[in-house]
């Protein structure tokens, strides 16, 4: 059974509350109840350092057979790094700087209740853009999420970027509470599936919370190679796993 079925999890909103650490009791449930029944994997848009922080340590690469950080651009298999790709090599520095300069100009003209720091985070496989800034506090993060639902700050910015750069070859994906991801077309979470195709799984069950159009789980949730499970919280993920495996 473990070699035939893979349960692949998003992190934020699926295994953890957004930008929080996984509950040790939930992690214990996954390791003791679910791992004997299937292979476990993680795919997240964040870099490995952030995923490791949320999953209670770097040994996450030993507790989960597959860890795909940055949508799979940096990935680990059975405790070892198995591959790495980067956006600057793919896009070129001139294109990236033109795009980043426009982003910073745009954000300089956006008024929000608060602004903090780290508006553009450069990752191996993507740019993460946060109008409020990633160095905001949890209270400010929660407040921005509510503000954004009403004023559509991120959605409006994405529309402006699509109009300014119609032929750049980027995809935009809103995820989490305060930011959105920008990456080359095809470099969404489905990128990790091409790496899994040769592994011989009969079923790949994907669990994610941002599965609606525009969310960063949308593409992999709807991919023909996965069986998608839409969840609303870590508690809901646990309930759906219990139903799936008749626990």
Marked catalytic residue, from 10, 27, 148, 188: 10
Residues 146, 147, 152: CA angle, nearest 5 degrees: 110
Q: What ranges in 21-92 are assigned the alpha helix state H?
A: 24-29, 48-54, 60-63, 87-91
For 238-247, the CB contacts below 8 A with 24+ separation are 238/26, 238/29, 240/207, 241/7, 241/30, 241/33, 241/34, 241/207, 244/205, 245/33, 245/34, 245/37, 245/38, 247/33
Q: Which two tokens stand for residue 188?
A: 């969404």
Is 12 annotated in the active site?
yes
Token pair, residue 117, equals 């720091």
Query: Active site includes 10?
Result: yes
User: What 3-state DSSP class applies to 43?
Assistant: strand
Distance, in Å, from the CA atom of 111 to the CA atom of 107, rounded to the nearest integer, reads: 8
CA distance 185 to 171: 5
Task: Report, as residue numbers or ranges, the catalytic residues.
Answer: 10, 12
């Amino acid at each position: 059974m473990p070699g035939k079925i893979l349960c692949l999890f998003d992190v934020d909103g699926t295994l953890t509350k957004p930008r929080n650490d996984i509950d040790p009791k939930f992690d214990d449930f996954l390791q003791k109840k679910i791992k004997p029944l299937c292979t476990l994997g993680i795919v997240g848009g964040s870099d490995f350092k952030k995923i490791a922080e949320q999953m209670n340590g770097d040994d996450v690469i030993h507790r989960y057979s597959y860890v795909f950080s940055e949508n799979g651009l940096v990935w680990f298999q059975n405790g070892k790094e198995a591959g790495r790709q980067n956006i600057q090599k793919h896009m070129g520095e001139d294109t990236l700087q033109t795009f980043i300069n426009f982003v910073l100009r745009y954000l300089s003209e956006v008024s929000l209740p608060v602004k903090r720091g780290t508006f553009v985070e450069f990752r191996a496989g993507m740019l993460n853009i946060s109008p409020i800034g990633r160095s905001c506090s949890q209270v400010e993060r929660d407040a921005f999420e509510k503000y954004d639902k009403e004023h559509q700050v991120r959605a409006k910015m994405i529309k402006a970027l699509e109009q300014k750069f119609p032929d750049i070859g980027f995809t935009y994906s809103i995820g989490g509470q305060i930011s959105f991801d920008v990456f080359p077309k095809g470099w969404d979470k489905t990128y990790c599936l091409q790496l899994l195709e040769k592994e011989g799984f009969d079923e790949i069950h994907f669990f994610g919370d941002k599965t609606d159009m525009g969310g960063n789980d949308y593409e992999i949730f709807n991919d023909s190679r996965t069986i998608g499970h839409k969840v609303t919280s870590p508690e809901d993920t646990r309930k759906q796993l219990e139903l799936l495996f008749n626990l």
